[in-house]
Structure 1
Amino acid sequence: MCRHSWPGIACGFALFILVFIYDKLSGASICVLGKAEPSLLLFIVPGLAGGLLLRCGSLHKPLYGALLALPVCFLLLYVGEMPARPVLQEMAWLFSAVFWCAIGTLLSLFINRLRRHLRVQRRTHAR
């Protein structure tokens, strides 16, 4: 059981908001209908960083941070100018960003497991 999970949650929260602000300020999320948005791949970073901060493998801790950041990002979206897309489409975009954050967390779990496996292999071959 991971007792100190707040670094993963805080990292996921802060990085999710930073990637959201970068994406909206850079205009990378403005898309033509039917075209893919590669800017969503940036949301892998908050999940990856949050997952790597945790020692124990936990998928849900960095996702808590991303889910806590959703209302903040939604408010940031409407503080400035009105978005070009409808509200439901913006909500779908934000939830797909959470999906990519989960992919980043899964990637961090894989990296942690691989590092642990390689460490065990070195110990057994050193004897």
Structure 2
Amino acid sequence: MANYRYWVGILSCSLLFSLVFLGQQSGAFGSTDHEHHGETGLLLFVIPGMIASYLSSKKRILCPLLGALYALPLCLAIRHFWLTPFYSFWQELAYATSAVFWCVFGAMLALFARSLLQIFQQCHRRERQ
């Protein structure tokens, strides 16, 4: 069962990462201005990381990382061949690498929230006793 949840985490992250990446690049999310300047839209990549971390049984950081890295070549290929590229390949690769960072950061935030929730529950149990 744990192996099944391992792959669910990777596949969910890969799918959600691809959707957010292609949505960002096509202009579906945020502005249609095609300039890479301090975009807050990169924060949307936190969501696939958090969901994949929640769906993974163990290796809650590795699954979102692998999912994002598996989706990255597909996203860059779709962006390069089917969508009109506005930047060089290296600029797109830098943008995609920062997207992977934010995805893994989302997984870390989910782990942090989970540990805070466990600590809160333990303190609450001690107060009841």
For normalisation by structure 1, the TM-score amounts to 0.86
Distance in 2 (CA, whole Å) between partners of 1:7 and 1:113 is: 22
CA 1:57–1:115: 2 relative to 1, 3 Å: farther
- Of 52, 75, 78 in structure 2, the residue corresponding to residue 76 of structure 1 is 78
Of 37, 52, 55, which residue of structure 2 is paired with 1:53?
Answer: 55
Shift of 1:57: 6.0
Q: CA deviation at 1:38?
A: 1.6
Q: Deviations over 1:10-59 (max 9, x none)?
A: 11111100101211222647116xx3122111111111111122344621
From the superposition, tell whether residues 20 and 87 of structure 1 become closer, same or farther in structure 2 (CA, over 3 Å). Answer: same
Contact persistence 1:12–1:62 (CA under 8 A): yes
SS in 1 for 2:86: coil
Partner residue of 1:123? 125
Matched, 1:96 2:98: yes
Match of residue 43 from structure 1: 45
Task: Say how many residue pairs are matched.
Answer: 124
In the TM superposition, what is the alpha-carbon distance from 1:81 to its structure 2 partner?
Answer: 3.7
Give the aligned partner of residue 111 of structure 2. 109
Q: Where does structure 1 lack aligned partners over 5 or more consecutive residues?
A: none
Consecutive unaligned residues of structure 2, counting only runs of 5 or more, are none
Partner of 2:16: 15
- In structure 1, the residue matched to 2:35 is 31
Q: CA RMSD in A?
A: 1.9
Cα distance change of structure 1 residues 14 and 111 upon mapping to structure 2, 3 Å threshold: same
- With over 3 angstroms needed to count, the CA separation of the structure-2 counterparts of 1:64 and 1:57, relative to structure 1, is closer
What is the TM-score when the length of structure 2 is the normalising length? Answer: 0.85
Identity of aligned residues (%): 33
Work out the CA distance in 2 between the residues paired with 1:124 and 1:113. Answer: 17
Structure 1 segments, 4+ long, off by >3 Å, are none
